[in-house]
Amino acid sequence: MKERSAEPTTRREFIKNSGKLAAVSALAGQTLPHVHAADDDTIRVALVGCGGRGTGAAANALRVPNGPTKLVAMADVFDHKLSSSHDALSKRFKDQVDVPQERRFIGFDGYKKAIDSLRPGDVVIFTTPPGFRWVHFTYAIEKGVHVFMEKPVTVDGPATRRMLELAKKADEKNLKVGVGLMVRHCRARRELFDRIQGGEIGDIVSMRAYRMHGPVGSAFSDPKPDNTSELMYQISNFHSFLWASGGLYSDFYIHQVDECCWMKNTWPVKAHALGGRHYRGDKVDQNFDSYAVEYSFEDGTSFHMNGRTMVGCHDQFASYVNGAKGLGIVSTSSHSPGRCRTFKGHRLSRRNMIWAYPQPEKNPYDLEWEDLIDAIKNDKPYNEVPRGAKASLVTSMGRMAAHTGQVVTYDDILNSDHEFAPTIDQLTFDSDAPIMAGPDGKYPIPLPGISRDREYNDQLPRSI
């Protein structure tokens, strides 16, 4: 970061002079994103992607204690989702939602119109299917607005390379960018990280995480109805399609992957994996319903990620760090609360417990927004995209290892030329979908050992 010139004595004085500063900025080819043209400190928010996660993220933004914030624009490709989200948020935050009909945008270009409703220094929320993330982020940088984007931020190697370059451009414009890996903002996990790095459980020997439960999200889809276009069907069921979300492995397991790599304080260099499809019936998605991925680090230690989405099996949601002297719990049964603890040895007993974070814990979904708003209002360096892109890439690395049956290295996935949806920025309501069903209504699926250099191939069988 370059040194900044001396700040005005008050924010109100800064705002008063914002017209002059903006003019100078335009001549210099730069933006001053913390400048607001209004006569108060309200940060205006636009929501792009109005599903459940988008509505939740908007609620987190509107209830920050270090605001004030106001929702002023919304965009989606589905009118019913936008309307439902607007109704829910208006009831809950009556005085903070000001989104008249003319600032509700339906269409693939709606994100541009929503961002155009903001001023430099305001915030846009991106909670569309992750495949669109780089497209929307590019425009936000161009317009000089801060960003909160949900995870994952990429679904393949080419998109990751693109996002890492975009992150540099965001820094050049002094934009603050949050990524929805909210566990990084959990105060319990932060203290756990400090304790592990300080040697409380000894050198890390191995790590393991479990995400086992029934079918989740839109990851298991029935055949497309006749009255729906192929593209809109796939966007509506985005967890079922790798181009849109990276599938259930990327969209859901990224949290466990990220939190364990955080505790190790480095990224793995390779992955090999098992996975398969069972009891699928008429489901036409591209997902496996069981994954067992072993990530290896440069020092030879391993992290085992175990995922299963099958009814009637043992459920578990947890992450553990095994050290030479003891054990740390990163997650117990959900993202929040973490109930982080450390133990002498490797038996989970109260007698062996060294430390437990006091309860109750503050919700990290709220904390990530408090931290972002603090960075915006106090002009602190804040860009989570490089870390978010690497977490997304490492998650894709494990997914690709399972889908191809090969050992996949970090460099393999980063430099892969298989871009799932290279023309995603050109989609309209009349476009074909990035992948198409065959005559039997089936989509290309991963075939480990058969398709070995990419996760699916349109020219291979769609079932076995």
149 and 112 inside one domain: yes
Q: The pTM is what?
A: 0.91
Residue 214 is assigned to a structural domain of this protein: yes
Alpha-carbon distance values, 93 to 66, 187, 193 (Å): 16, 27, 35
Residue 452 is assigned to a structural domain of this protein: no
Grade residue 461 by pLDDT with cuts at 50, 70 and 90.
low
Residue 38 is assigned to a structural domain of this protein: yes
State yes or no: cis peptide before 215, omega within 30 of 0: no
Domain count, the chain: 2
List, for residues 232-268, the tens digit of each pLDDT value.
999 999 999 999 999 999 999 999 999 999 999 999 9
155 and 222 inside one domain: no
48 and 164 inside one domain: yes
CA–CA gap between residue 146 and residue 126 (Å, rounded)? 11
The two tokens of residue 388 are: 């978010």
302, β-bridge pairs = 206, 296
Alpha-carbon distance values, 463 to 101, 426, 446 (Å): 46, 30, 9
Out of 382, 414, 439, a domain closes at 382
207 and 285 inside one domain: yes
CA–CA gap between residue 456 and residue 179 (Å, rounded)? 28
**Confidence check: pLDDT of 21 > 50:** no
**Residue ranges making up the domain that contains 111:** 11-183+367-382
* 443 within 8 A of 457, measured Cβ to Cβ: no
372 and 415 inside one domain: no
Residue 88 is assigned to a structural domain of this protein: yes
CA–CA gap between residue 294 and residue 301 (Å, rounded)? 10
Residue 50 is assigned to a structural domain of this protein: yes
264 and 171 inside one domain: no
CA–CA gap between residue 319 and residue 302 (Å, rounded)? 13
168 and 192 inside one domain: no
Residue 270 is assigned to a structural domain of this protein: yes
194 and 313 inside one domain: yes
CATH number at residue 152: 3.40.50.720
Number of other residues whose CB lies within 10 A of the CB of residue 290: 17
- Supply the DSSP string of 325-338, one letter for each residue: SEEEEEESSSSS--
132 and 161 inside one domain: yes
201 and 160 inside one domain: no
165 and 201 inside one domain: no
147 and 170 inside one domain: yes
List, for residues 284-343, the tens digit of each pLDDT value.
999 999 999 999 999 999 999 999 999 999 999 999 999 999 999 999 999 999 999 999
List, for residues 80-128, the tens digit of each pLDDT value.
999 999 999 999 999 999 999 999 999 999 999 999 999 999 999 999 9
